Each structure stands twice: as C-alpha cells, then as structure tokens.
Amino acid sequence: MAAARANRMTALAAALAVAAMVGASFAAVPLYRIFCQVTGFGGTTQVAGLAAAQAAARDAAALAKGTRLITVSMLGNVNSSLPWSFAPVKPKITLRVGENALVTYRATNFSDQTVTGIATFNVTPHKAGPYFVKVECFCFSRQTLKPGESVDMPVSFFVDPRLTKDRKLDDVTDIALSYTFFRAPEPQR
C-alpha cells in the first residue's frame, strides 16, 4: 500500500510539473513582451499616449534650427510561412529628435486564400530602443488580408529628446525600425 501511495504521489507531482511547464510556455511570450516594453530590453520601443505625443509635438516645434538629426531606416520582413510581401513605402527618413513622424508599410497577400498575419518589431541599436516612442502601430495586432489584397499600415513615432542627454547615445545617428510578419495562429475555439 505504501508503494502504491508513493507511486500516486510521484505521478501527481510529475503531472503538476508538466502542467506548470505548459502554463509557463503559454505565459512566456506575453510576460517577455511586458518585460521588454517596461525595460526597453532588446530594442523594444516605448509607447506614448496621445497627451505625450502632443507634448512631444510642442517640444519639437520649439526645437531650434540645427538640433540633432536622426535617420530612421524602415525594414520589413516576412516569415516564409506567410505568403505576403511586406515593405516600407519609403525606406528612410531623417527627422529632428522630438519631431513626430508618420511612415507607412505596405503588405500584399499573394495567395488565393484569406490569410491573417501578426507583426513583431525591434529597434537597433538596442540602446536607442527606450528613446524610440511609438504613438500608433499595427504590431501585435492581427492583420487579415484577402487573396490579392494590399493594405497600407501606418506607424507614428518620435525619438524622445532625452536621447540627447544620454552620453551613451552620442554616437547614434541612425536607427533601424524593423518589423517581421508571421502567420497568426488560428484562434482557439
């Protein structure tokens, strides 16, 4: 009897360990996303509310001529499982630190089926991520395209003027904003 009870306890412990690992694997992506957004780790940008964006616009208007310029290159990639093309409409812009910018990416579904994708992003150099503030973006939102359909996806952002006070970023003159689209998983029913 003691051996049977010990076997049941071992089986229960193993089942709980497996359940905990499965639960952790599902929680890992959202928790990592939150961690990156809070810390700026891995080039994760900050997200501004409307009030912050308006304040930045006022600050940008007050910037004197000749202030620091940053060139932002837009990159678009598509995972091989997604039958889309995805690229920036204009691959590069130069703007003043604090100036609001609006760029557009275009996605086209080349398949004969309706397909849903989802994009991830990053900013390089990674140390500039905390100063790259997105006001509006399509990332982490499901995008569904019908066969042959093309859609333009805007991104509104600014480079936080505090970047100019961070001596570790004195060498930063170029920032790359890169998106990668993946096929979105089918929704759970």
The HSE-up count of residue 19 (CA atoms within 13 Å, CB side) is 6
At which residue do the structure tokens 């952002």 appear?
A: 157
* Tokens encoding 176: 């790359």
The answer to pTM > 0.85 is no
Q: Is 71:174 a contact under the CB 8 Å cutoff? A: yes
The tens place of each residue's pLDDT in the chain, 189 residues long, gives: 777 777 787 777 666 666 556 555 545 455 555 555 555 555 455 554 555 555 555 555 544 444 899 999 999 999 999 999 999 999 999 999 999 999 999 999 999 999 999 999 999 999 999 999 999 888 888 999 999 999 999 999 999 999 999 999 999 999 999 999 999 987 766
- Residue 121 has phi, psi (to 5 degrees) of -145, 165
Tell me how far apart the alpha carbons of residues 174 and 67 are, in angstroms, rounded to a whole number: 15
- Neighbour order of strands in the sheet with 174-183: 92-96, 69-78, 174-183, 115-124, 143-145
